[in-house]
Structure 1
Amino acid sequence: MYHIKNPIIIIDGSLYLYSSYYGFSNVKNFLGEPSGAIYGILNIINNILIKYKDLKKIIIIFDSSKKTFRTKLFKEYKKNRPSMPLELFVQIKPLFEILKKIGIQVFKIPGIEADDIIGSLAFQLEKKGETVLIISHDKDMQQLVTKNINILNKKNNTIITPEIIKKKYGIKPIEFIDFLALIGDISDNIPGVPKVGIKTALSLLNSFSNLNNIYDNIEKIPFLPIRNAKNITIQLKKNKEIAFLSYQLATIKLDIPINITSNQIFSKKDCIKNLLNFLKNYFLRN
């Protein structure tokens, strides 16, 4: 298996907070309090500690609120997502406390989505010469992939590299933004261009590379070997504003100022010891 040497690992905390909550909904602590989200996040960290013997640091990122620059651009953005369940909300404070105790850095910035913090932090670390591994199965993250920034998809335990994206989609990682702008994203309520599916979007990008070039060459599209090319051209013309709005919504920001306390010492040995002590006391104490 492809191995990342000496990585700084960034975990998409908000993503796994919810998946852990629903995946371990029956897990409770020794007091009978809901603890599935805590258990799931700590289980991910434990697996990372076991698998990556030479990791430098683990950083975990969380959302802070629903209101961001994207909701100002498009009020329907993520509107289909329900409010946080109370049984999940009560787990956040103890989760943050244990993450601090075991030596995991937590980043959470008011009004900034976790994706934007992850993107900005990853590129900031890459500029400093670090190798970054992002733990996430959010497809949006694929736009961040470079030679030194890879993604571990825990759903299928595969490492996503530029070569993997090229092989699967035929496009570069940065073109994944244009891809999402065309097809949309149901999970985030990004509209995309109606009638443009995955195959059509990839055909357009293989021909013209990006959204700007597609619109600069829109009169050539009816002559491409694309199914319903004339209708696709009509849809593109009709929904140009939506396409570029979708591009803005899909683009992960890379310029969020983040104060990285790089001098913080991370001891894997202490992290494992503290994690095991916490799990024993929190879940098993009589």
Structure 2
Amino acid sequence: MNEIKNHPVIIIDGSLYLYSSYYGFREFQHTSGQSCGAIYGMLKMIDNIFKKYKHSEKFIIVFDSSQKTFRKKLFKEYKNNRMPMPNALCMQIQPLFRILKKIGIKVLTIPGIEADDIIGSLAYKLENIGEKILIISHDKDMLQLVTKNINIFNKKDNRIITPEVIKEKYGIAPKEFIDLLALVGDVSDNIPGIPKIGIKTALFLLNNFSNIKNIYNNIEKIQFLPLRNAKNIAIELKNNKKTAFLSYELAKIKLNISIDVNLNEMIIKKYCSKKTFRVFHKYISSF
């Protein structure tokens, strides 16, 4: 398995793993009957990461804001297919934040800004000052952030994602993943994409034209391509041009969010697994 060189800054996609922890340990309760599975699952995941990357000393965990984001203002149906956060999960968030602070892990959330945009902006800020970054996430949107110095660890398949891995699997560069999502859409975020265009067709178009802008600059050529239903695909593209560029804006992670965080704030002075879970047991008995 490929490993990013040196000791990277670890950025954890907290919002993503918060939900998977909640549903993975949904039955966990302490003696008062209060749910605590999300907290336990998050700490267990963090503990595993610390053990795997024990030579890294700089960690930060990023969460979504509860406020409306620019994407929701741009497209009111954005993420409309998601259920509201369960109350049992809501009640665990502040205790989780207190536990993370107690064990020395920097938590970052910015009002009105999604975790993806915070992670992207922070990663590129750190890369610009010479750091190597490892993002812990299995969100496919994150693939657009991958560079030589920004890799992604996908816990689902225990794999480090590099530009070479993306090129091998999809045949495109990481930044072109935005164009791919703009064409095929994203069901999880309710990004519409273009009707009747699946991933194979989208990759064929991108391999020929590199990006969505060039696809539309060459729209008259598409009907003549060696592509099944090429004429119908060209029609769908023409009829949904506004949707395509809207989907692109929704899928594109912002890299210019102002973030007032320095490396010293991310340093874990001394991590202890036993201490972490002692703090967990102490806090869950008080909320």
Alpha-carbon offset, residue 274 of structure 1: 3.1
Aligned residue for 1:201?
202
CA distance in 2, matches of 1:191, 1:267: 41
CA distance in 2, matches of 1:79, 1:187: 10
Contact map agreement 2:59 2:266 (CA 8 A) in 1: no
Aligned residue for 2:255?
254
**Residues 1:192 and 2:188 are matched in the alignment:** no
CA distance in 2, matches of 1:58, 1:265: 5
Correspondences of 1:161-200 after superposition (within 5 Å)? 161-200=162-201
Q: Which moved more, 1:138-147 or 1:255-264?
A: 255-264
CA distance in 1, matches of 2:68, 2:134: 28
Alpha-carbon offset, residue 193 of structure 1: 0.5
Contact map agreement 2:11 2:59 (CA 8 A) in 1: yes
Instruction: Report the CA distance shift for 1:43/1:238 in structure 2 as closer, same or farther (over 3 A).
Output: same
Unaligned runs of 5+ in 2: none
How high is the sequence identity, in percent, across the aligned residues? 66
Correspondences of 1:225-244 after superposition (within 5 Å)? 225-244=226-245
Question: What secondary structure is seen at the aligned counterpart in 1 of 2:32?
Answer: coil
Q: Which moved more, 1:77-86 or 1:276-285?
A: 276-285
CA offsets per residue over residues 158-188 of structure 1, 9 Å max, x none? 1111000000000000000000000000000
CA distance in 1, matches of 2:278, 2:16: 26
Contact map agreement 2:138 2:155 (CA 8 A) in 1: yes
CA distance in 1, matches of 2:248, 2:31: 47
Q: Which moved more, 1:269-278 or 1:129-138?
A: 269-278
CA distance in 1, matches of 2:265, 2:25: 32
CA distance in 2, matches of 1:172, 1:253: 18
Contact map agreement 1:13 1:60 (CA 8 A) in 2: yes
CA offsets per residue over residues 45-93 of structure 1, 9 Å max, x none? 1001111121121111111125111111110000111111110001001
Aligned residue for 2:53?
52
**Residues 1:215 and 2:216 are matched in the alignment:** yes
CA distance in 1, matches of 2:203, 2:97: 41
Contact map agreement 1:30 1:283 (CA 8 A) in 2: no
CA distance in 2, matches of 1:49, 1:215: 46
Q: Which moved more, 1:23-32 or 1:104-113?
A: 23-32
Letter of the 2:70 counterpart? F
Alpha-carbon offset, residue 273 of structure 1: 5.1
Q: Which moved more, 1:79-88 or 1:174-183?
A: 79-88
CA distance in 2, matches of 1:195, 1:156: 29
TM-score by length of 1: 0.95
CA distance in 1, matches of 2:25, 2:200: 36
TM-score by length of 2: 0.95
CA offsets per residue over residues 7-47 of structure 1, 9 Å max, x none? 11111111111111111101123433201110111011100
CA distance in 2, matches of 1:69, 1:161: 29
Instruction: Report the CA distance shift for 1:66/1:196 in structure 2 as closer, same or farther (over 3 A).
Output: farther
Aligned residue for 1:160?
161
Aligned residue for 1:80?
81
CA distance in 1, matches of 2:201, 2:271: 51
Contact map agreement 1:116 1:253 (CA 8 A) in 2: yes
Aligned residue for 1:3?
3
Letter of the 2:228 counterpart? R
Letter of the 1:140 counterpart? D
Residues matched between the structures, number: 285
Letter of the 1:3 counterpart? E
Question: What secondary structure is seen at the aligned counterpart in 2 of 1:40?
Answer: helix
Alignment root-mean-square deviation, CA = 1.6
Contact map agreement 1:49 1:268 (CA 8 A) in 2: no
Alpha-carbon offset, residue 275 of structure 1: 0.9
Alpha-carbon offset, residue 260 of structure 1: 1.1
Correspondences of 1:81-96 after superposition (within 5 Å)? 81-96=82-97
CA distance in 2, matches of 1:267, 1:192: 42
Contact map agreement 2:59 2:268 (CA 8 A) in 1: no
CA distance in 2, matches of 1:14, 1:137: 11
